[in-house]
């Protein structure tokens, strides 16, 4: 699904691979990572950095200058669900060093800053959303996801350390975010108390008392309206990406030697 949007619109054919370099965990790298030099129809070259653990994203970078310095220009996200897919390009500020030879040597500064989503498209069932409408929807969702994952990362529980992949992330967080949707044995302790008030949204009875006890105030209307559930169901990998962002920065900031592979 990660390439669905590009295949639908044929945009994958607009760029061709010039060279590909890879490093793997089994050979000592922090993560399975690839650096790909690509060329567009105007013969302009750029660099894509991808991590196998996070197939929903890629970092688009400038070619290195004569001293090996380069800029990270954007984060490109694309992932799908049973509901459709979301795709966007977000402006990023970041720098690093990159050299090519028999091997590729990559090192990125940890100080990487998200700026703003600059373009995107949404496929929701049979409806394609583009232009200003898509941009507004994606930016609003991005703000909600930032708020949700900021709350998640402040959640004080040692069990969070056991999360190693998106499946573990989903298994751990779904009962906390949406106890109304899981079996009794998975519901968090104390999720239901005397006097709790329920409201109905998106055909689900939401426990507003649990919302108020558990979540930051800014997230109360997001959860009680069913919007948080919609974000979770349609863009789980987007939420996971933000949740993991500090780990991603730590990974790509480590000096990595990649070897040339066939395109």
Question: Going residue by residue through the chain (263 aa), what tens digit of pLDDT does each one get?
Answer: 334 344 444 455 688 999 999 999 998 888 899 999 999 999 999 999 999 999 999 999 999 999 999 999 999 999 988 889 999 999 999 999 999 988 999 999 989 999 999 999 999 989 999 999 999 999 999 999 999 999 999 887 777 778 899 999 999 999 999 999 999 999 999 999 999 999 999 899 999 999 999 999 999 999 999 999 999 999 999 999 999 999 999 989 999 999 999 86
Cβ–Cβ < 8 Å for 73, 84: no
Phi, psi of 193 (to 5 degrees): -130, 155
pLDDT of residue 53: 95
pLDDT of residue 4: 39
Q: Looking at the whole model, is its pTM more than 0.85?
A: yes
Longest dimension (CA), the chain: 68
How many residues are recorded in the chain? 263
Cβ–Cβ < 8 Å for 23, 249: no
- Nearest residue to 180 (alpha-carbon basis) of 204, 211, 196: 204
Angle between helices 227-234 and 131-154 (to 10 degrees): 100
210: left (phi over 0), alpha (psi -120 to 50) or beta: alpha
pLDDT of residue 8: 40
Alpha helices in the chain (DSSP H): 4-9, 131-154, 166-177, 208-214, 220-224, 227-234, 236-243, 245-252
pLDDT of residue 52: 95
Tokens of 50: 């991808």
pLDDT of residue 161: 75
């Amino acid at each position: 699904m990660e390439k669905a949007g590009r295949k639908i619109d044929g945009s994958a054919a607009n760029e061709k691979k010039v060279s590909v370099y890879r490093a793997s965990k089994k050979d000592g790298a922090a993560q399975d990572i690839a650096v790909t030099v690509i060329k567009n129809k105007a013969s302009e070259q750029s660099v894509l950095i991808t991590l196998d653990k996070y197939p929903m994203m890629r970092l688009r970078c400038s070619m290195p200058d004569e001293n090996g310095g380069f800029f990270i220009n954007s984060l490109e996200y694309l992932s799908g669900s049973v509901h459709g897919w979301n795709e966007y390009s977000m402006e990023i500020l970041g720098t690093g060093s990159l050299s090519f030879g028999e091997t590729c040597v990559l090192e990125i500064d940890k100080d990487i800053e998200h700026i703003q989503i600059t373009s995107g498209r949404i496929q929701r069932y049979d409806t394609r959303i583009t232009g200003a409408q898509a941009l507004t929807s994606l930016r609003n969702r991005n703000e909600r996801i930032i708020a949700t994952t900021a709350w998640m990362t402040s959640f004080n529980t040692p069990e969070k350390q056991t999360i190693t992949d998106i499946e573990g992330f989903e298994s751990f967080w779904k009962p906390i975010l949406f106890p109304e949707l899981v079996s009794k044995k998975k519901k968090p302790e104390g999720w239901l108390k005397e006097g709790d008030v329920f409201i109905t949204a998106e055909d689900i009875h939401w426990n507003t008392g649990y919302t108020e006890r558990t979540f930051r105030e800014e997230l109360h209307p997001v959860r009680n309206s069913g919007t948080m559930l919609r974000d979770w169901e349609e863009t789980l990998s987007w939420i996971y990406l933000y949740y993991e962002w500090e780990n991603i920065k730590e990974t790509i900031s480590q000096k990595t030697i990649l070897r040339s592979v066939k395109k």
